[in-house]
Amino acid sequence: MAAKKTVGKSTRKKSSTDSSAEFEKLLKNAGNAGHFVLRLFVTGNTVRSGQAIANVRALCEDYLAGRYDLEVVDIYQQPTAAAREQIIAAPTLVKELPVPARRLIGDLSDRDKVIVGLDLKPAGDPGQKGGKTHWIKL
């Protein structure tokens, strides 16, 4: 009988520890919920790359001022980074945080679609132009 009590106590202690660890994880992630981590993959100093960089920077300043990190990666200079992320087209914008991760391909000139793709505005928002937009969740 003493063995059963020990098992019961250790089970309760484990679930309490698991709950604490889960709570700490949620607290840690809550601080990052409003912070965006973006990586833009471009191909050298081309017109299309320049447009994509300008479009993303303008959008970030308008919607995420002070709440984002943007890294621009030239796949000609850093091919291993592109291979690691499995980039097959450029420009490609990768949203790492907040989850879910997303990838947007193109010069990112359609601001409304980029806003929806980054989860800055819900897909059913009446202010959105055009039809349904489908994004791949990673």
**In this structure, are residues 34 and 66 in contact, taking their beta carbons and an 8 Å threshold?**
no
Give 11 or 51, the one with higher predicted confidence. 51
Tell me which of 121 and 30 has the higher pLDDT. 121
Please check the confidence at residue 104 and state whether its pLDDT lies above 50. yes
Mean pLDDT confidence for 43-47: 94
- Sketch the domain layout of the chain as residue ranges: 1-32, 34-117
Instruction: Compute the average pLDDT of residues 47-55.
Output: 94
CA dist 24 and 22 (Å) reads 5
Check if CATH label 3.40.30.10 holds for domain 34-117. yes
pLDDT digits (tens, 9 = 90+) for 111-126: 999 999 998 865 454 4
Give the residue, 128 or 84, on which the prediction is more confident. 84
pTM: 0.65
Segment 55-77 mean pLDDT: 95
